[in-house]
Amino acid sequence: MDLRESISGAFQNLAARKLRTALTMLGMIFGVGAVIAMLSIGAGAEKKALEMIDRLGVRNVIVRGTEIKEEELMEVRKKSLGVSPRDGEAIVQAVPGVEMVLPRLEVETWKIHANGNKSDAKVFGISHRQPEVAAVPMAEGRFFDESESISHAQVVVIGEGVRRDLFGYESAIGGLIRINDLWVEVIGVLAGENQSGGDEGIPVASTEYEIYLPATTAMRKFDRGPLEAPLDELIVRLEPNRSSREASQQIDALLDRLHGGAKDYELIVPEALLEQARRTQRIFNIVMGSIAGISLLVGGIGIMNIMLASVLERTREIGVRRALGATRRDIRAQFVIESFAISLIGGFIGVATGIFLARIVAAMAEWPTVVTLWSLLLSTGVSITVGLVSGIYPATRAADLDPIEALRYE
């Protein structure tokens, strides 16, 4: 028999036992599907975490004010005013390798409306240099500049969701918004995003429902509580070759002295978060890949069991073929090809199943999934390898049958 005849015969035997073949394939289908789905979910989680950390900036160190219990607030304020512009000035002067320090504060609002419409957006005062340290994509208009920050200009940049709430689908550029009792002019609209809150305390709420105005305007035009810190956070931008971990230690020591030992702040180092996220992701991939690999192993055992049963069932057929001139190599090839065909077809169906499962997870959980070429090649390759290995022993056993004893088998 040549290879074409062996392949044809293998597929005829599989087609003659459709139910058995389909049930045998299920192990490979779900095994491959599980590998692809798990790796896709893991890749999606990694992508989302990297996007979140990218918004913070790997070269940044963030000094953020912490929440303090009401009964302790008075005592803490005797030592420290909280995060303030003075901290930023001290960091620039005392910590080497600092490129800039940018303020950020959230404005307490009770009314945001325009054109008879209202929005529940959050309002932040930030620096005009914010686009230099973190991604601030613009859909239309522009970001406010240095002159507007110096003059405490009443201008804002709004998120796409705020634009829809207040202006419908019309252009918002040049429109007026009332925030509490202050009228401000819209000069820019942020590009829409699909990001939600993250882990590790990362502030990554979607910008769709955020409003940005100059920090100087926010501090002058909006009141804060007498015991509230002047700022919510400072973004410390480091020079390219400066270690953020070393800088964070120096910043912590400096702020500890300035705040009189009051721990009313915390430091966030995106570079450290990035490394931790990658380590966590590697562990996740290993665990999920191992679980999915067990599914493939179970599928391979199923193929071996079915092929051994097939050898027993077709013993007399093997004897007839050997009597008619088939060699042991022909018999071995017949069963190996059948095993290979089961794993190959099961692998392809499993790929489609895995992609489908990943899409379902993305739609139902609103969690991004990324189907990579590496995951497709890995799962398919392992499936085929398992199928071949599982078929070798039954094929060898079939080839070693004595022709005379096989012909006598009932």
Reference 316, options 386, 175, 410; nearest CA is 410
> Which tokens sit at 145?
């500049």
- Identify the DSSP state of 68: -
* Mean pLDDT within 61-70: 88
Contact between 369 and 359 under an 8 Å Cβ cutoff? The reply is: yes
pTM (2 decimals)? 0.60
How would residue 1 be classed by pLDDT, with cut points 50, 70 and 90?
low
Instruction: Convert the pLDDT of each residue in 189-223 to its tens digit.
Output: 998 754 433 433 333 447 889 999 999 999 999 98
How would residue 233 be classed by pLDDT, with cut points 50, 70 and 90?
very high
How would residue 53 be classed by pLDDT, with cut points 50, 70 and 90?
low
**Widest CA span in the chain:** 103
The C-alpha atoms of residue 88 and residue 410 are separated, in whole angstroms, by: 91
Q: Strands 233-238 and 182-190: what pairing?
A: unpaired
Distances (CA, A) of 182 to 24, 73, 93, 154: 70, 30, 35, 8
Q: Taking 60 as the threshold, does the pLDDT of residue 21 lie above it? A: yes
Q: Taking 90 as the threshold, does the pLDDT of residue 49 lie above it? A: no
Q: Strands 265-268 and 117-118: what pairing?
A: unpaired
Instruction: Convert the pLDDT of each residue in 26-38 to its tens digit.
Output: 878 888 888 888 7
* Mean pLDDT within 146-173: 93
Least confident range from 130-144, 231-245, 326-340: namely 326-340
Q: Taking 50 as the threshold, does the pLDDT of residue 308 lie above it? A: yes
pLDDT of residue 54: 64
pLDDT of residue 297: 78
Measured in degrees and rounded to the nearest 5, phi and psi for residue 57 equal 90, 120
How would residue 409 be classed by pLDDT, with cut points 50, 70 and 90?
low
pLDDT of residue 198: 40
Reference 144, options 136, 155, 133; nearest CA is 155
- The β-bridge partners of 176 are 185
How would residue 104 be classed by pLDDT, with cut points 50, 70 and 90?
very high
pLDDT of residue 347: 83
> Which tokens sit at 56?
């913070």
Q: Strands 265-268 and 60-65: what pairing?
A: antiparallel
